[in-house]
């Protein structure tokens, strides 16, 4: 017997199906509400509204659980690799040895981009933020692969697009950085693994084979795993809704990059380091800024603390915090800004004001610290987030298209003028 929710509106009663997810989550399916009653629901920011059913990622904000296709991020970040996790998210199962080898080789053979991309890149001034450049370059891929625009493409052709995007995003990301630095671009060295190849294109020497620090490459690979998906976050929802109009994967991911750029989403890791540098530049008194953060009349806000979904702790932050400690120790890094971060973390974790409000250091607090330690420039932090989130965006787009979900078209509550007659300009 189907469970239903009963909704009384004025003198009418309506019944709506109750859905239960794999982990016991309960939802009310309101798909038929407007047809039954003419009434819609309103939920600004959709924080209480599910947009879809998905089998990709499960998270529990109260218990701090995050799993990709049922596997915990704790296990995946310590035992797997980013490309293996990308395969898992996109195709639903961990690959066999042969499948992973083929996937990796396919990606390695598509890392180059058309030489004309350089002409597009050259059109950007050096002050252009790498996220804006990256979003544009990803969208430009539709020009070089016009068949990707066909909404009725075969599974094989869609897979080709998936491989190309995973292969080329590190190249485009590194080139966005080189444009910022006004340095010559570096071409991929396909004998290197995925993260080492990216580091080579970012920092490698044009004259010789790059010596990529394995500590840095491994830490980066783990960071990319921890950012790979996060169910229906802002950028994943953007990719889904753009894809729901049957726009290409390139166009949908380009839109996802734009959504991630915002400081309330992926831009938070850049904002953390800028906040810490500001504290350092103003004397480094952490306690003073903690008090400012508590003062409602003070505009200063602590970036990198708390999370809209996790109520007690961000499971990714726990893993990245340990990785940050390991990397800073192994690389022997002494950075006053990073020392400030550790002081701020210590104060916040003990202060009742932050503890009561669930304002604990989140994934963005520690990822900014570790990216800085890895030598990644601040305005490339969100680009790193995009590199990690790509498999999640692809998986969400693919699931939405395979499930033949309808075009996203929310309704509204109208609050504007009632009908009124046009007034000639001479009489206004």
The smaller minimum CB distance to ligand MLT, of residues 73 and 216, is found at 73
Q: How far is the CB of 271 from ligand MLT (least distance, A)?
A: 13
Q: Which residues are catalytic?
A: 307, 364
Q: How far is the CB of 87 from ligand MLT (least distance, A)?
A: 20
Q: How far is the CB of 342 from ligand MLT (least distance, A)?
A: 22
- Buried-state track 5-19, b at ≥16 Cβ within 10 A, e below 16: eebeeeeeebebeee
Q: Are 48 and 39 in contact (CB under 8 A)?
A: no
Q: What is the C-alpha to C-alpha distance for residues 340 and 359, in angstroms, rounded to an integer? A: 17
Residue 332 CB-density burial (10 A; 0-12 exposed, 13-18 middle, 19+ buried): exposed
Q: Where are the alpha helices (DSSP H) in 97-154?
A: 97-108, 116-122, 130-144
The smaller minimum CB distance to ligand MLT, of residues 145 and 313, is found at 313
Residues in the chain: 428
Residue 167, beta-bridge partner list: none
Q: How far is the CB of 372 from ligand MLT (least distance, A)?
A: 19
User: Which helix H or strand E contains 386, and what residues bound it?
Assistant: helix 381-402
The smaller minimum CB distance to ligand MLT, of residues 46 and 353, is found at 46
Q: How far is the CB of 265 from ligand MLT (least distance, A)?
A: 6
Rule CB under 6 A: which residues touch ligand MLT? 230, 233, 265, 308-309
Residue 139, CA distances (Å) to 236, 257, 373 in order: 16, 10, 31
Q: How far is the CB of 270 from ligand MLT (least distance, A)?
A: 14
The smaller minimum CB distance to ligand MLT, of residues 168 and 227, is found at 227
The smaller minimum CB distance to ligand MLT, of residues 200 and 240, is found at 240
The smaller minimum CB distance to ligand MLT, of residues 66 and 340, is found at 66
Q: What is the C-alpha to C-alpha distance for residues 91 and 84, in angstroms, rounded to an integer? A: 10
Q: Where are the alpha helices (DSSP H) in 227-314?
A: 234-243, 249-261, 268-281, 286-294
- From the list 17, 62, 55, 2, the residue with the least C-alpha distance to 313 is 62
- Buried-state track 335-362, b at ≥16 Cβ within 10 A, e below 16: eebbebbebbbeebeebeebeeeebbbb
- From the list 390, 407, 14, 369, the residue with the least C-alpha distance to 243 is 407
Q: In the sheet where 71-72 sits, what is the strand order?
A: 57-60, 65-68, 71-72
Q: What is the C-alpha to C-alpha distance for residues 348 and 344, in angstroms, rounded to an integer? A: 6
DSSP SS3 for 74 = helix
Q: How far is the CB of 222 from ligand MLT (least distance, A)?
A: 15
Q: What tokens does 6 get?
A: 């009963």
The smaller minimum CB distance to ligand MLT, of residues 260 and 373, is found at 260
């Amino acid at each position: 017997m189907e469970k239903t929710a009963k909704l009384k509106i004025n003198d009418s009663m309506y019944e709506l199906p109750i859905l239960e997810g794999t982990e016991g989550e309960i939802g009310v399916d309101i798909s038929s509400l407007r047809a039954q009653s003419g009434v819609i629901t309103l939920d600004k920011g959709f924080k209480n509204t599910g947009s879809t059913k998905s089998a990709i990622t499960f998270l529990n904000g109260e218990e701090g659980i995050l799993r990709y296709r049922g596997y915990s991020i704790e296990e995946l970040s310590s035992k797997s690799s980013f490309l293996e996790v990308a395969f898992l998210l996109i195709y639903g199962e961990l690959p066999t040895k042969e499948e992973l080898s083929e996937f990796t080789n396919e990606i390695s053979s598509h890392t180059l981009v058309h030489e004309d991309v350089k002409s597009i890149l050259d059109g950007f001034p050096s002050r252009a933020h790498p996220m804006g450049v990256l979003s544009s370059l990803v969208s430009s891929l539709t020009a070089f692969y016009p068949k990707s625009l066909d909404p009725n493409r075969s599974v094989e052709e869609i897979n080709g697009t998936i491989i190309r995007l995973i292969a080329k995003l590190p190249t485009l990301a590194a080139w966005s950085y080189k444009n910022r630095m006004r340095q010559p671009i570096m071409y991929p060295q396909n004998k290197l693994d995925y993260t080492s190849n990216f580091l080579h294109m970012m920092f490698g020497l044009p004259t010789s084979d790059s010596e990529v620090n394995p500590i840095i490459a491994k830490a980066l690979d783990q960071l990319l795993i921890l950012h790979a998906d996060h169910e229906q976050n802002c950028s994943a929802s953007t990719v889904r809704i753009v894809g729901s109009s049957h726009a290409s994967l390139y166009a949908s991911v380009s839109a996802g990059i734009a959504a991630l750029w915002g400081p309330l989403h992926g831009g938070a890791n850049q904002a953390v380091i800028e906040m810490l540098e500001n504290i350092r530049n103003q004397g480094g008194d952490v306690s003073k800024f903690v008090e400012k953060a508590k003062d409602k009349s003070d505009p200063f806000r602590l970036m990198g603390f708390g999370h809209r979904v996790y109520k007690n702790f961000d499971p990714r932050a726990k893993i990245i915090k340990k990785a940050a400690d390991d990397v800073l120790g192994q690389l022997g890094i002494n950075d006053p800004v990073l020392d400030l971060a550790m002081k701020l973390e210590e104060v916040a974790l003990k202060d009742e004001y932050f503890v009561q409000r669930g304002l604990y250091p989140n994934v963005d607090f520690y990822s900014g610290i570790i990216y800085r330690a890895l030598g990644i420039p601040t305005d490339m932090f969100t680009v790193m987030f995009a590199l990690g989130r790509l498999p999640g965006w692809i998986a969400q787009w693919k699931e939405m298209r395979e499930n033949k979900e309808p075009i996203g078209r929310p309704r509204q509550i109208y609050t504007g003028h009632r009908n009124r007659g046009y007034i000639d300009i001479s009489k206004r």
